[in-house]
Amino acid sequence: MKIICFLFFPLLFISCKKTQEQTQVEVMNISESVYASGIVKSKNQYQVFSKVSGIIDELYVKEGDFVQKGQPLMKIFNQTSRLNTENAALLAENSALQANADKLKDLSIAIELAHKKLQNDSLLFIRQRNLWSQQVGTKVEFEQRELAYSNSKIAYQSAILKYKELKRQVNFSAAQSKKNLAISQTMEADYTLKSEYTGRLYSLQKERGEMVNLQTAIAVIGDANLFSLELQVDEDDIVSVKKGQVIMVTLDSYQGKAFEAIVDEIDPLMNEKTRSFTVKANFTKQPQLLFPNLTVEANIILQTKAKVLTIPRNYLIDDTYVLNEKNEKIKVKTGLKDYQKVEIISGLQAKDIILKPTK
């Protein structure tokens, strides 16, 4: 029994002893970066909205089609709009100058008659005035001729004013009716929805017979070949991000590959819900095949150092210490950090052995 116990305890001691993980200090390149996540977007990608409400009467395209700028996508029907356009056309036709030609002609004739009467009364007045200056005739006759002449003059001027006023009204009414018709025709044109850019129809959310309005997106159109990145950067990191910085991008669609991009634009307004800023970037050489809304992860490179001493970040204790191979805590000075490695400025040398701290 004593022999069994003697053999058992050494075996138990040996089996419980664990080997602590270790690594060597390595010389390698390191980059400090800011993490970002986001999506792929097609260049000039936009949501298509209708400017009017109505029912889709005709669809001219389907998802995946290539479309040209100005190409009709669909026809929207609205009975009220069509009736308004027809009514405006009728008003424009009836308000035209030719529709009021008879009225203008009547006034023109009235001017001519008034002018002839004025000429006649003027001659009679001058004749009577000459007679009166020779003491021929009575004063009453002279005054009657003078009054007739004055009345004819006023009537002639009044006829001219009436003609001018009617013509002004007709011209104004005609111009207004034409303008209303042009507005109605422009609004009618809005019922044919057209593409704003040349590209690809990536999404079509409505079918023929469905209702559309001004608030609901109908489709998504974007460039068929050129793509960009829309990244979200945390508010804590945004001050470090600058236009022109290099970005290393990974996509789930391209496992094991990284693509380079460049920061192109930083939106100045923070999203209050996510507490993040939108950073837009362009690929320096984009993947061969991309689609809008693919998810990406990215590291925005802030600075890079070549051939420096590095250790894994999880070997660092309180950002200040490491364990040497004797399991002794030694102080180190650190520099750049990425998500896996940390630069060692002093305290260690290349190929030094360090131990991983146990939790």
Rounded CA-CA distance 169/83 in Å is: 26
CB 231 within 8 A of CB 41: no
Beta partners for residue 212, in sequence order: 54
3-state SS, residue 304: strand
Nearest to 227 by CA among 42, 64, 39, 37: 42
DSSP E strand stretches across the chain: 22-24, 26-42, 46-49, 54-59, 66-67, 72-77, 192-194, 199-204, 211-212, 217-222, 227-234, 246-251, 259-266, 276-283, 295-312, 321-324, 329-331, 333-337, 341-346, 353-355
Rounded CA-CA distance 298/306 in Å is: 21
By the 10 Å C-beta count (0-12 exposed, 13-18 middle, 19+ buried), 348 is classed as buried
Rounded CA-CA distance 336/338 in Å is: 7
pTM for the predicted model, two decimal places? 0.60
Helix 139-189 and helix 101-133: axis angle, to 10°? 160
Rounded CA-CA distance 301/32 in Å is: 6
| Cβ contacts of 40 within 8 Å, gap of 6 or more | 227, 228, 229, 230, 251, 290, 291, 292, 293, 294, 296
| Cβ contacts of 265 within 8 Å, gap of 6 or more | 243, 279, 280
Rounded CA-CA distance 224/199 in Å is: 5
> What tens-digit pLDDT sequence spans the chain (359 residues)?
333 333 333 443 334 445 789 999 999 999 889 999 999 999 999 999 998 888 898 999 999 999 999 999 999 886 565 556 566 566 666 655 566 777 888 888 999 999 999 999 899 888 888 887 888 878 888 889 889 989 999 999 999 999 998 888 878 777 777 777 676 666 666 788 999 999 999 999 999 999 899 898 999 999 999 999 999 999 999 999 999 999 999 999 999 899 999 999 999 999 999 999 999 999 999 999 999 999 999 999 999 999 999 999 999 999 899 999 999 999 999 999 887 899 999 999 999 999 999 87
